[in-house]
A and B are shown apart, each in its own frame.
Chain A
Amino acid sequence: DAGITQSPRYKITETGRQVTLMCHQTWSHSYMFWYRQDLGHGLRLIYYSAAADITDKGEVPDGYVVSRSKTENFPLTLESATRSQTSVYFCASRAPQEIAKNIQYFGAGTRLSVL
């Protein structure tokens, strides 16, 4: 199916474990983003990528690692999960300005609980 998909939708893990959240988009959008959403906060940017093999830190990158070997995939890894990383994680991709005003399209989210 076309669009942007995240997996898993729900994940429970323990502190200290490594966790990888997957994101896949079929539009060939250059830009992709990872956000976390917590109660009382707006979406906070963790990392973003302008193209394959180009990534950059956002507002809250500590404790996270990303890679982008292919345009369509942008996985997010928590190297050693902490309770403070319990959150809802959204992946997004951005349409080109000339086609759709740089609108960001979001995946359904991954709800992560770190015990």
Chain B
Amino acid sequence: GQNIDQPTEMTATEGAIVQINCTYQTSGFNGLFWYQQHAGEAPTFLSYNVLDGLEEKGRFSSFLSRSKGYSYLLLKELQMKDSASYLCAPRRSNYQLIWGAGTKLIIKP
């Protein structure tokens, strides 16, 4: 079967660092995507991991541990515009994505 767990909501302060965790169980795992979705808008691609380790892209980094079924998205130097939902999406061997319900991140001044 497949199951994805990520926190429903998190709050952080502008300028701080926040880590959004995602645990997953999926058959035929073939990589993991993180997407950002602002309220009322479409999801947009943030990062992709297929091997274990950390992928860094500017203020955003994503980590994957395949053996633990675990990933996290790290956001540094938080800005108000980072207030959004963050969607964890493991990819199966048939290249289809399984989507988590998302973590709503609230940034406070």
Q: Measuring CB to CB, which residues of chain A are less than 8 angstroms from any residue of chain B?
A: 31, 35, 40-45, 48, 58, 90, 94, 101-109
Contacts and interface: CB of A to CB of B under 8 A. Distances in A.
B33 A106 contact: no
B44 A102 contact: no
A103 B48 contact: yes
B48 A90 contact: no
A90 B44 CA distance: 12
Contacts of B101: 40-42
A43 B88 CA distance: 11
Given A42-B87, A42-B102, A104 B42 contact: no
Interface of B: 4, 31, 33, 41-45, 48, 87, 89, 91, 95-102
A106 B99 contact: no
Nearest to B97: A104
A109 B96 CA distance: 20
Contacts of A106: 42-44
Ranked 5 nearest A-B pairs via Cβ: A42-B99, A106-B42, A43-B99, A42-B101, A103-B45
A102 B42 contact: no
Nearest to A103: B45
B37 to A, nearest CB: 9
Nearest to A45: B96
Given A42-B99, A42-B100, A90 B43 contact: yes
